[in-house]
Amino acid sequence: MSAPPTIARVGLTGLLVSFGSAMSEPANRAALAFRTAVEAEDWPEVSETMMSLVSVFVAVDLVTAPAEEIEARLREVLARQDWYAAELPSGRTLWHVPTVYGTDLAPQLEEAAEVAGLDPDEAIRQLSTARVRVLTLGFAPGQPYLGELPEVWNIPRQQGLTKSVPRGALVTAIRQLIIFTGPTPTGWRHVGQTAFRNFNQQAEVPFALSPGDELVFPAIDRAAFDKLSAPNSYGAAEREVIA
Amino acid sequence: MSGALTILSAGPALSLQDLGRRGYLAKGLTRGGAADLRALHEGAALLGQAPDCAAIEMMGMGGTFEADVDTVIALTGAEMAATLDGAPLIWNASHALSAGAKLVIAGVRAGTYGYLHVAGGFDTPPEMGARSAHLTAGIGALLQASDSLPIEASHARPGLFLTPEGRLSGGVIRMVLSFQSALFSDATRARFGETVFRRDPRANRQGVRLDMAGDGFHAEGGLSIVSEVITPGDIQVTGDGAPYVLMCESQTTGGYPRIGTVLPCDLPKVAQAPAGAELRFQVVSLEEAIAAETRARAEIKALPSRIARLVRDPHDIADLLSYQLISGAVSAAADPFATTGEQP
């Protein structure tokens, strides 16, 4: 059962519509669909919107726009449908991102497999065929939180931090994957390496991904990875539109 | 005529800043821009230009600068020792900078972030709609010796002065409760309001850590809170119980609970508080916050009307010979225009 959505004030800068107090697939889907609906309303008071894992931030200058009035409008949109049962929006992008699993490029694949109770080959089979969705972007520009992996991947963060993993690293914890935007210290385990670029400020569209996009990470070998050229500004990846 | 301002030597944390980038929150990029937005407006008022002109932000210390065209500069924000070809310059004022003259901006005297504005603004190519360096996102970079920034020759009016709103030494910071405040017990919030904090030396454009005597502050839910939106001014409490005020280059989301949010108009005071300065937090109601913010915006709008002449231009003085000119000399060390309560 999903709790009813709540609306709260965020300082003087907007309102937060929250669909849960913990990450869940229906709450994330609700936030994705609700944000799309609020964007479509195109209210002049709303300067931007963003979704985090289970909520939607609606940026409004509460110094000049009354919070009650914006809240009433948001409630009206909330009442239109059961957002937890919302369909995923169409027109999203499916990305195929070639990935090297393990090797010196991604040295924690075996450790992660062991924590998950899988042998390394099975771990690679599962990770390279899982189709995951961008649950939210954040922490660094364009950086996706991807999920959800099968329950067996509900593994904790490691106790210590890895000092730095490179740009394009594929890391995992708590049934999620992240592709890192830049070199990052992390408690997540480095299981794969991609040539993907989340963010390229020189590109016409600087951010590759949007919330709701889906990704798969097919396995390639080390030799193929070394030969990868970057056919477009986001690094080696192919994409197709999800109808 | 187009020219350049060249940095001959640079302090450790110089960067180009403007009002920052809006509209990218959903992509994981916070606004960035000047740590003290008010200083940007003051510089724009002194030079009679739009507040979105880019200026050089100088944390702690400045550098040595030289232009290859005649221009006019303004100095705002944290007060720094400045000289032009050896002659001291007054802060919060506009000054002529002739081609080839050496502008030296040394260490900070009060506050943290000083600003060097130039007439017309620095004309670097915008990236994603702004010229600001966003250091944590990897957009742009710190400025270094031998960097040259494009400028235009200008005859904007030098010798103008502004008495800034005092904000360089910490003090009482107003905050409102926000969507996670209720995660902290009434007793914890009351203690937060009574605590005298000091700005930790570990502070940057991402966040300002606050030190205090006594126990840390902890939310009831502990650390298992789902990541939520961060806005600049949020006061986040990390695992060890120490609060951070999140600043212009914070992350867009975070999993540590926020006890409240600093009013935007008081955020420059947090940015400018020097290491060790005392900060206290006072919760105000939404109505009071809106009133304070509305007042602050009106003050910023009125800045151009508060510009004064620093030294009278001889052309404007009809009876020049009757003036005892030497008593009009000013020194950068003793600020004759400062109002009470604003001394560092």
At A126-142, the pLDDT tens digits run 999 999 999 999 888 99
d(CA B307, CA B78): 18
Q: Where are the domains of chain A?
A: 6-85, 92-242
d(CA B77, CA B84): 18
Considering only CA atoms, which of B220, B326, B208, B273 is closest in space to residue B78?
B273
- Which region, left, alpha or beta, applies to residue B33 given φ > 0 means left and ψ of -120 to 50 means alpha? left
d(CA A85, CA B63): 59
Judged by average pLDDT, the poorest of A109-118, B126-135, B325-334 is: B325-334
Q: Which residues of B touch A201 (CB under 8 A)?
A: 127-128, 138-139
Q: Which residues of A touch B22 (CB under 8 A)?
A: 47-48
To which residue do tokens 């508060």 refer?
Answer: B306
d(CA B127, CA B32): 13
Instruction: List the domain range (segments joined by +) for residue B122.
Output: 2-165+313-322
d(CA A189, CA A177): 9
* Residues B132, B193 share a domain: no
* Residues B203, B241 share a domain: yes
Q: Which residues of A touch B136 (CB under 8 A)?
A: 140
* Residues B148, B193 share a domain: no
**CA distances from residue A143 to B65, B100, B213 in whole angstroms, order as listed:** 38, 45, 37
Is B16 inside a domain boundary? yes
Is B343 inside a domain boundary? no
* Residues B214, B99 share a domain: no
pLDDT interval class at B341 (50, 70, 90): very low
Is B344 inside a domain boundary? no
* Residues B176, B147 share a domain: no
Domain A6-85, what architecture?
2-Layer Sandwich (3.30)
d(CA A173, CA A5): 27
Residue B246: give its domain's CATH number: 2.40.100.10
The pLDDT of residue A230:
55
Which pTM does this prediction carry? 0.89
The pLDDT of residue A2:
65
Query: What is the distance in angstroms between the Cα of B94 and the nearest Cα belonging to chain A?
Result: 32
Which strand (E) or helix (H) includes residue A36?
Answer: helix A25-41
* Residues B248, B133 share a domain: no
d(CA B71, CA B75): 14
* A65 pLDDT more than 90: yes
Q: Which residues of B touch A57 (CB under 8 A)?
A: 25, 229
| Mean predicted confidence (pLDDT) in B10-25 | 96
Inter-chain residue contact B231 with A10, CB threshold 8 Å: yes
Torsion sign across C-alpha atoms A37, A43, A46, A48: positive
Query: Do residues A161 and A226 lie in contact, with contact meaning Cβ atoms separated by under 8 Å?
Result: no
Residue B285 has phi, psi (to 5 degrees) of: -75, 165
Query: What is the distance in angstroms between the Cα of A144 and the nearest Cα belonging to chain B?
Result: 9
* pLDDT tens-place string over residues B167-226: 999 999 999 999 999 999 999 999 999 999 999 998 899 999 999 998 899 887 655 678
CB within 8 A of B53, min separation 6: which ones?
A: B18, B40, B43, B44, B47, B117, B120, B121, B122
Q: Domain count of chain B?
A: 2
Q: Which residues of B touch A47 (CB under 8 A)?
A: 22-23
Closest in B28, B128, B290 to A140, CB measured: B28
* Residues B157, B23 share a domain: yes
Task: Tell whether A201 is within 8 A of chain B (Cβ).
Answer: yes
* Residues B216, B135 share a domain: no
* pLDDT tens-place string over residues B229-265: 999 999 999 878 899 999 999 999 988 899 999 999 9
pLDDT interval class at A202 (50, 70, 90): confident
* Residues B192, B126 share a domain: no
CATH number for the domain whose boundaries are A92-242:
2.40.100.10
| Mean predicted confidence (pLDDT) in B59-63 | 97
Closest in B179, B263, B264 to A16, CB measured: B179
Inter-chain residue contact A143 with B28, CB threshold 8 Å: yes
The pLDDT of residue B320:
45
d(CA B84, CA B105): 9
d(CA A115, CA A123): 11
Inter-chain residue contact B234 with A11, CB threshold 8 Å: yes
Question: Which chain A residue is nearest to residue B254, measuring alpha carbons?
Answer: A139
Residues of chain B whose beta carbon is less than 8 angstroms from a beta carbon of chain A are 22-29, 127-128, 136-139, 176, 178-179, 224-229, 231, 233-234, 251-253, 260-261, 263-264, 286, 289-290, 293-294, 297
CB within 8 A of B315, min separation 6: which ones?
A: none
* B312 pLDDT more than 60: no
Task: Tell whether A174 is within 8 A of chain B (Cβ).
Answer: no
To which residue do tokens 């990875």 refer?
Answer: A225
Query: Do residues B226 and A28 lie in contact, with contact meaning Cβ atoms separated by under 8 Å?
Result: no
Inter-chain residue contact B226 with A21, CB threshold 8 Å: yes
**CA distances from residue B161 to B42, B83, B164, B303, B311 in whole angstroms, order as listed:** 10, 16, 9, 11, 9
* Residues B77, B21 share a domain: yes
Q: Which residues of A touch B178 (CB under 8 A)?
A: 8-11
* Residues B217, B154 share a domain: no
Residues 24-83 of A with CB under 8 A from B: 35, 47-55, 57, 59, 62-63, 67
The pLDDT of residue A91:
85
Half-sphere exposure of B188 (CA within 13 A, CB side): 18
Q: Which residues of B41-58 are buried (b: 16+ CB within 10 A; e: fewer)?
A: bbbbbbbebebebbbbbb
Is B333 inside a domain boundary? no
* Residues B231, B318 share a domain: no
